[in-house]
Amino acid sequence: MNAHAKPAPLGGPLLNAVTFTAGVLIAVMAVIVLVRFFYGLGAVTHLNDGYPWGIWIAVDVVIGSAFACGGFSVAMLVYIFNRSEYHPLVRPALLASLFGYTLAGVAVIVDLGRWWNVWNMFNPWTVNPSSVMFEVAVCISAYIIVMWIEFAPTFFEKFGMTEAKRRLSKIMFLIVALGTLLPMMHQSSLGTLLVVAGEQIHPLWQTPLLPALYLTTAITMGYAVVLFESCLASAAYRRAIETPLLTPLAKVMLGMLIAYLVVRVGDLLWRGAWPRAFAPSLEAIFFWLEMAAFVAPFFLIGSETQRRNPARLFLAGVALMLAGSLLRLNGFLIGYQTVIGAETAGVNYHYFPSLTELLVTVGMFAVEVLGYVIITRRFPVLPREAAHA
Amino acid sequence: MQDEGVLTCLVQGEEQEIERRFGISRREFLKFCAGLAGTLGLPAGAEAAVAQAIESAKRPSVIWLHFQECTGCSESLLRAEHPTLEKLILDVISLDYHETLMAAAGHQAEKSRKDAMAANKGKYLLVVEGAIPTKEQGIYCKIGGHTALELLKECAADAAAVIAIGSCASWGGMPSTVPSIPGWDTSPTGAAGVSEVLGKTVVTIPGCPPNPYNFLATAVHFLTFGTLPATDKLGRPLFAYGRLIHENCERRAHFDAGRFAMAFGDEGHRKGYCLYKLGCKGPETYANCPTLGFGDVGESNWPVGCGHPCIGCTEKGVGFAKPIHAMAKMLNVAPPLQYPRITEDVGKGVSFASAAALAAIAGAAAGGAAMLARNLGLSHQAAELEKAKEGKAKTQAEA
């Protein structure tokens, strides 16, 4: 791994159009979150009995944490499958994951009705170890801590704490192992959350295989995010693109995607849920959107020549991020009916995120962008650019 | 154990005396005393003091005045289904003047009142039933040539304590209802309560009629301790009127869960749901109706228990004042926030602002992605061209 260029801070101004916009969006979010904590969820969201989970859960937490799988997907590739050539991608991917997960954790607190009870989750006397939600919550909290430790060498390098870095590197293998295990546990458990919801989930998304589907898509989305993030960073910072690394990574991603699609389609056929995809319903429309997004990468980067084109890699990354997001949005929001038989009882529940809900979600992503810009500019994350040849 | 405690204060001879006097067994008598002590909210063991006070021969003299009323309060005391209640009442107190119950008539009756007042000056208990008309010097109610105003003032002057029984005596009750005729601001007779006429707070036992035990317990408190029980600022004993009906109501769980009878005889009404929406005044009326059975015939024998909304008869300004089916004002007990709401929000559809915001976000993301992809594609093309050129140059150089 020493053959690779060492990471170095990018330098450059911290205040520019991007960081300023992000700052404004974060300030707006802060005000809304403050209102939410003083006046309750009802004051700022459109949540109701039929839709107790809105976009703060479906997008900020479930999709947000799936976007944050880049770190663990690449780390798994590098450390578990010993493909050290991908090492330069680890730190930037880990950084994106760090923010993604930390914010997902924060977003959960914002969405919890009685957030002041959250400490019970960490109190061994009050936990319910049979709960899927508990597993997800504990794994995510543990993973956030593990990830900060995993990322700590970046800070140690910045502040010249070589001794601390040396000591940490001795146990790093353990941290990395945990950093792979924990996200695999809770990403699959996010699927289990829907399995236990039973018939409340639309048949197109309700299957005992959900944990496997959520896990495989989380990993593929992790690679998609790396493609996306590398292209975005190179374009934004006007750096050479790491195409030689991204091209084979995209191939790994496609391989995983094939495995996913085989299981997904096979499951739909085996369970006989297939006809529901042709029923005229919102669910069916969103199902086909989801499937289209999952298949799109094959058309975009199906051949080796296509995989060498960063534009196509970027679009394929975006398509797959969208696909994974749709799978989660469909399961957690669109195909989720909490009150069975509400329609026959004459109650029609509606949900569409309120402006304030949207602004909070946007603000959460703005925190990620701002954090990424500040850290890459001031801390050694991205590999040092070779002197202009 | 408590029975044994009481037993020690009842000597064998006294036991027989009780059976002779009240016509009930000692056990029944002690149960009655314990019931009264419990009604008063007295600590365990107090029934012994109550029993001792009751079984002593010294019964307090009671003068009972009737004014503008229906005698329902007296009737409820006497017609209680409990076989010995009326006997106990009449044996616990020495009822020296009661227009409905006394055998004497005319001048004889008036004389017995005067005699009792003179004999027990400063020691007798004055009970007033009915409102006092105050208009035209009180000419609307006269007994033996005296107006109710004169009688009340005369009897109250030397009384040890005054108890106003029933809503009429408490604040005017039903006779004080103002006719719904424009221009009227008082009742036709100017009916007033005892404390209004006497100009001082007296103990009131409002209700139409009040639960006999509330009166009896107040009287026994006086008998046992020589004082009247603690009251609220309207003179109502706190042991009976300290809590809203709503707080102890047997239908309260239905209120909290949002299950209401909407019309008499509807499904909710038949299932015993909360009567709040039929105008039940329980949420703004202080009384112990839900906790103390009325007339000794079981716990359903009170308005709410048998399916009628409470009319608020113990509460001035509610009973006989508010329409029976008008919704009550929630005084201080609202259901906790975490309980289901009466009508659940079913959610809003798309709002213009949120749809526009979502479209703007999606548009910006799509536009940004397209531009980025285009730039990446262009630089890729340029790089490929460069490579091709280099390759060509190389082959040319080699050639």
pLDDT per residue as tens, chain B (399 positions): 444 444 444 445 566 666 666 667 778 777 777 777 777 777 777 777 777 777 765 677 889 999 999 989 888 877 655 545 566 666 777 888 888 888 888 888 888 888 889 988 888 889 999 999 999 888 999 988 899 999 999 999 989 889 999 999 999 999 999 888 888 888 999 999 999 999 888 999 999 999 888 888 888 888 788 888 899 988 999 999 999 999 889 999 898 888 899 999 999 999 999 999 999 999 999 999 998 877 767 677 889 998 999 999 999 989 898 888 888 888 765 666 666 666 667 787 788 888 998 999 999 999 989 988 888 888 888 888 888 888 888 888 877
- B13 closest CA partner among B44, B48, B57, B43: B57
Give A344's pLDDT tier (boundaries 50, 70, 90). Answer: confident
- Looking at residue B287, its pLDDT comes to 94
Domain residue ranges in chain A: 17-378
Rounded average pLDDT over A275-304: 93
pLDDT one-digit tens code per residue, A164-187? 888 888 888 888 888 888 998 889
Query: Residue A35: what are its φ and ψ, rounded to 5°?
Result: -60, -45
Highest CATH level, class, for A17-378: mainly alpha
B-contacting residues of A 282-321, CB under 8 Å? 308-312, 314-315, 318
Q: Which of A309, A338, A365 to mutate to test the interface with B (most CBs of B within 10 A)?
A: A309
| Beta-carbon pairs below 8 A across chains A and B | 75
| The overall pTM is greater than 0.90 | no
Domain with CATH 3.40.50.700 in chain B: 58-241
pLDDT surpassing 90 at residue A259? yes
pLDDT surpassing 90 at residue A315? yes
- Looking at residue A389, its pLDDT comes to 35
Rounded average pLDDT over A58-74: 90
Highest CATH level, class, for B58-241: alpha beta
Please give the single-letter amino acid code of residue A160: G
CB-based contact A354 B379, cutoff 8 Å: no
- Looking at residue B95, its pLDDT comes to 81
DSSP state of B340: P
pLDDT one-digit tens code per residue, A9-45? 888 888 888 899 999 999 999 999 999 998 888 889 9
Residues of B in contact with A232 (CB under 8 A): 372
ipTM tops 0.90? no
CATH number given to B243-344: 4.10.480.10
Domain with CATH 4.10.480.10 in chain B: 243-344
Per cent of chain A over pLDDT 90 is: 43
- A65 closest CA partner among A150, A166, A151, A185: A185
> What is the rounded average pLDDT for all residues in chain A?
89
Report the run of H or E that residue B368 belongs to, with start and end: helix B352-398
- Looking at residue A11, its pLDDT comes to 82
Nearest to B369 among A308, A318, A354 (CB): A318
Judge contact between A150 and A179, C-beta under 8 A: yes
Per cent of chain A over pLDDT 70 is: 98
Q: Residues B226-243, buried b or exposed e (16+ Cβ, 10 A)?
A: eebbebeebbbbebbbbe
pLDDT surpassing 60 at residue A353? yes
CB-based contact B347 A350, cutoff 8 Å: yes
Any idea which of A76-90, A226-240, A304-318, B12-26 has the lowest mean pLDDT?
Answer: B12-26
B113: CB partners within 8 A, 6+ apart: B63, B96, B97, B155
Question: Could you give the CA distance from residue B360 to residue B366 in angstroms, rounded to a whole number?
Answer: 10
Residue B397 forms contact with A (CB below 8 Å): no
A12: CB partners within 8 A, 6+ apart: A377
Beta bridge partners of A144: none
- Looking at residue B5, its pLDDT comes to 43
Residue B379 forms contact with A (CB below 8 Å): yes
Question: Could you give the CA distance from residue A68 to residue A236 in angstroms, rounded to a whole number?
Answer: 20
Residues of B in contact with A301 (CB under 8 A): none
Q: DSSP string covering A154-212, please?
A: HHHHHTT-HHHHHHHHHHHHHHHHHHHHHHHHHHHHHHHHHHTTGGGB-TTT--TTHHH
- Looking at residue B28, its pLDDT comes to 77
